[in-house]
Amino acid sequence: MVNSQKSGIELYRNLGKLFYAVAMADGVVHHKEIDKLKLFIRKYWLDVDAVEDEFGSDAAFQIETVFDWLLEYEKDAQECFEEFQEFYRLQKKEFPIFIKVLILDSAHAIANSFAGKNKAELVLLAKLELLLK
């Protein structure tokens, strides 16, 4: 998945949808969730590959760009999760184990960043874990 330019960019855009869905699961995105997302992008996702977007930036920043756009337009969390789910099912064979682990670690960190995980976040995280198996 992360080997080709186009598929790498699509992965990161869909991860933006997923992480937005996790943060918005309870109906509110908190600043601590945004801060945790940005930390994980810079600390882990930038090192995944050398894919760049059309502007010459690391494609992993597409996660943040898509997340911010979804937040600005107050998109539905469930719809965003379903879009990621569809993308994953179509590309399942292209997801190496380390990407799946990093996705789960990132999602759990975002959900846990503000007052621990609530019921809505736990439900979404359980769906994500089942999806990635």
Query: Which residue is associated with the tokens 């007052």?
Result: 115
Map out the domains of the chain as residue ranges: 5-132
Instruction: Per-residue pLDDT tens, the chain, 133 aa: give them.
Output: 545 778 889 999 999 999 999 999 999 999 999 999 999 999 999 999 999 988 889 999 999 999 999 999 999 999 999 999 999 999 999 899 999 999 999 999 999 999 889 999 999 999 999 999 9
Q: Calculate the alpha carbon distances from 52 to 27, 34, 73, 115 in Å.
A: 32, 22, 26, 35
Phi, psi torsion values for 52, nearest 5 degrees: -115, 150
The span from the CA of 38 to the CA of 35, in Å, is 5
Q: What is the pTM of this model?
A: 0.95
Backbone angles phi, psi at 117, to 5 degrees: -90, 130
129-to-67, 104, 108, 115 alpha-carbon distances in Å: 21, 7, 10, 21
